[in-house]
Amino acid sequence: MSTPIKFGILGCGRIVERGLAPGLAESPAAKLYALASQRPGVAAKWAEKYGAAKAYDSYEEVLADADVQAVYIPCTGELHHQWTIAAAKAGKHVLCEKPLARTVAEAQEMIAACDEAGVILQEAFMWRHHPRTQRAKQLLDEGAIGDLRIIVVSFSFDIDRSDWRLNLDKGGGAMWDVGCYGVNSSRYFTGAEPMEIHARAHWWKTGVDMTMQIALTFPGEVVANIDCSFEAPFRNRLELVGTQGRMHLEDTFLPRDESVILLQRSVDQDAVIEVERVDMTNQYAEQVTSFCASIEAGKLQAPAENGLDNMRVLEQAWNYANKNRS
């Protein structure tokens, strides 16, 4: 794009500091223009740190700023619906943190508001835009491991018991926070929606799931096993298993110092495992650049999604696990 898109951010939280602010700085298609925090004075400090031109003590002021073209919504889950709709009415494009909403009904209302306003709504799954993700999909489509049969995804870490993500009213729970990645990646690599959904969980006293296991069955006899937890060691990995081999992506959604694909092109127990290195990149910057391309095109560009299909699977998994509490 000839002129970078001017972004406003509605909130100053962890994901902004470690993700979107650096991503905006590295993307040639975007510029961090305005920051807002509902904590007085915080936005001004962050604006100075990240070079934003404007700092506001309310989200409404960002939406009223005529120079802001797009907003990023990183706030807690129960606020996504309210501020996405408000941003759409203000004519701002919306990059909204995952999960998109707390319910499918909320997600549908958000999408309808953005469609009516003629603005782009994208769910912020940054991992989809990393070159390693694209390369793994390419290898899969080329038949490097034969026909896909099994997907295994694990995402866990131990959480402070005072964290807002243990608050049900704020959209908390392991499934909503990290299990959503397993669902998203399973859908991405199959290119399909699951036909069967089963789930079981260990529940916390606040009503959220601390640990959940989700089993999905996709067309073509592909099965996915997803586990997520707030009470386990750090694990962040994905394995694709086919009839002629397998692929493993460690640190799948949060790549660290290097980005590699471990590829085994055989079913033999002692088969050589190839190590394919993919150029490291800031996946948040890639996400922002892709989002700006969607704005320019007037519609979402692959591999971006508006989040509705992912929400449908998550809601069904939650309902199944909740109904079958022991």
Q: Name the token pair of 126.
A: 């940054």
Same domain, yes or no: 273 and 135: yes
Measured between alpha carbons, how far is 235 from 252 in angstroms, rounded to an integer? 10
Would you mind telling me the total number of residues written for the chain in this entry? 326
Measured between alpha carbons, how far is 177 from 156 in angstroms, rounded to an integer? 10
pLDDT at 257: 76
Same domain, yes or no: 263 and 227: yes
Same domain, yes or no: 135 and 276: yes
pLDDT at 325: 87
From 135, 21, 109, select the one nearest 72 (Cα to Cα): 21
Residue 38's CB is within 10 A of a number of other CB atoms, namely 14
Would residue 318 count as lying in a domain?
Answer: no
What's the CATH code of the domain at 12?
Answer: 3.40.50.720
pLDDT digits (tens, 9 = 90+) for 106-135: 999 999 999 999 999 999 999 999 999 999
Same domain, yes or no: 178 and 241: yes
The total domain count for the chain is 2
pLDDT digits (tens, 9 = 90+) for 47-78: 999 999 999 999 999 999 999 999 999 999 99
Q: Which residue has the tokens 């494009």?
A: 93
Which distant-in-sequence residues (6+ apart) come within 8 Å of 217 by Cβ?
194, 195, 196, 223, 224
Work out the mean pLDDT of the chain and round it to a whole number: 96
Pick the residue with more confidence: 18 or 228? 228
Same domain, yes or no: 191 and 222: yes
Longest distance between any two alpha carbons in the chain, whole Å:
62
User: What domain range includes position 52?
Assistant: 5-124+284-297
Q: Is the separation of the CB atoms in 122 and 128 below 8 Å?
A: no
Same domain, yes or no: 110 and 18: yes
pLDDT digits (tens, 9 = 90+) for 231-268: 999 999 999 999 999 999 999 999 987 899 999 999 99
Q: Is the pTM of this model over 0.85?
A: yes
Question: What are the DSSP calls for 89-129, one per residue?
Answer: HTT-EEEEESS--SSHHHHHHHHHHHHHHT--EEEE-GGGG
pLDDT at 1: 54
